[in-house]
Amino acid sequence: MRVRDFLEARRSGEIDIQDFLLKVLEKAKRIQERYQSFITINEDTSGKFGERLLGLPVSVKDCICTKGLQTTAGSKILEGYIPPFDATCIAKIKAEGGFILGKTAQDEFGFGTFCTNCAFGIPKNPLDPERTCGGSSGGAGCITAAADFPHIAIAESTGGSITAPAAFTGTIGLTPTYGRVSRFGLIDYANSMDKIGVIAKEVYDAALMLSIIAGYDPMDSTSQKVPEEDFTKYLEKDVKGMKIGVPKEYFGEGVDERIEKLVWQKIKQLESFGASYEEISLPMTEYALPAYYLIAVSEASTNLAKFCGMRYGSTEELKGNFDEFFSRVRSKNFGDEAKRRIILGTYARMAGYRDAYYLKALKVRTKVIEEFKLAFKKFDVLAAPSMPVLPLKFSEIEKLRPIEIYMMDILTIAPNMAGIPMISVPAGFVSGLPAGLHLMADHFQEGKLIAVAGAIE
């Protein structure tokens, strides 16, 4: 059943919500046994399910706080942490009658491209269980692709963590403008780049959920005062006359030619609908990846300092001095990738290195933003492949070095670093494996993305 069919059936009184949710929980548990999409499943189906969502099941990435439900950010160091409050986006979903189905698996604190760094089980791709769902919102992509019931996933992206799982699972991944959705209640990876968004089966579902979770929040200092709106109305818009930029750097070395072919077919399809396209150059793309990782690990090492065994999550017997205690807790409960990024970030922020690395990376980021701004003076949207490769087998990922894994983010880093909105839509299949088309727009132009994505769908 599609989301819009469920909402219509609920309004007409055709669905008994308690009976429906109990059946959904049974199905979710079977999916969990097979694919490991969740860290925690919510067994409590009590509540008022009125307003706009009417009891629609909504899964939540495990780095977003949910009152009364374990929230771990995929890390052992937060195992057992149960927030006493809801993140702003979760409060909005509950106010509109959404049912929180559970907390989805993710790379620890968002550190990963393939969701293989989760401390509580690695989600498997429902299209081929030997392959990755993408990361770091892998569980969100997994449950969305696997669910045969109406459902929408709340996910989060820092450098491509919504786009990657959407591309690898053949779903819709909508990453909004930085500041469009409140980050209050989000367990940070990199404060200046984290964005809460949506993974869904249809563009309508993503547009509906963005309409609910977007809006200004005084609890978040980065939240922007822009008007709230119904994003589903953009699905009625025509793409005729729209101008599409196609950056040549996004079709370069390392991008699978079969994915390129599918993406070009979709661009030509938009042309047949009355849009026009032009190839362009975004030369700063080359420098975005190293700049992103310097900024991201620097912010991450700062954010993770608070996870030390004193206030919440895992702890140890308090003996020895504080440094010894903190080291024991953190060594035991952080995974290898988290430790790697903490060390890299701490190094980049040290006296003598901050100017040489971190501040230069911030200047590169400014150049990246300026380059996008210039492009959007001429074009409504930019189009590119979502990911450079098809979903890899876990056996292939094991052979990759960390730097090779980081390079997989080459197509998503620049737009995420610039804070612009983007959407990944299915571009087609190669040997039964999905590929994604990535659409990017200027800040707060999500409506254009939804219009173009809807036309393709």
Residues known to be catalytic: 61, 136, 161
Alpha carbons within 13 angstroms on the beta-carbon side of residue 123 total 38
User: What letter would DSSP give residue 26?
Assistant: H
CA distances to 87, 105, 201 from 362, in Å: 29, 31, 36
Cα 108-114-119 angle, rounded to 5 deg: 30
CA distance 380 to 407: 28
Of 427, 390, 440, 426, residue with least CA distance to 280: 440
Torsion-angle region of residue 15: left (phi > 0), alpha (psi -120 to 50) or beta?
A: beta
Q: How far apart are CA 208 and CA 121, in angstroms?
A: 30
- C-alpha closest to that of 245 among 270, 221, 219: 270
Length of the chain: 457
User: Which are the contacts of 279, defined by CB distance < 8 A and separation ≥ 6?
Assistant: 245, 246, 247, 248
Residue pair 107/117 in contact (Cβ under 8 Å)? The answer is yes
Q: Which of 247, 242, 217, 216 is nearest to 229 (CA)?
A: 216
> Alpha-carbon distance 23 to 348, whole Å?
50
DSSP assigned state of 8: H
**Cα–Cα distances in angstroms (integers) from residue 255 to residues 260, 261, 263, in the given order:** 7, 11, 11
* 390's tokens: 């098809």
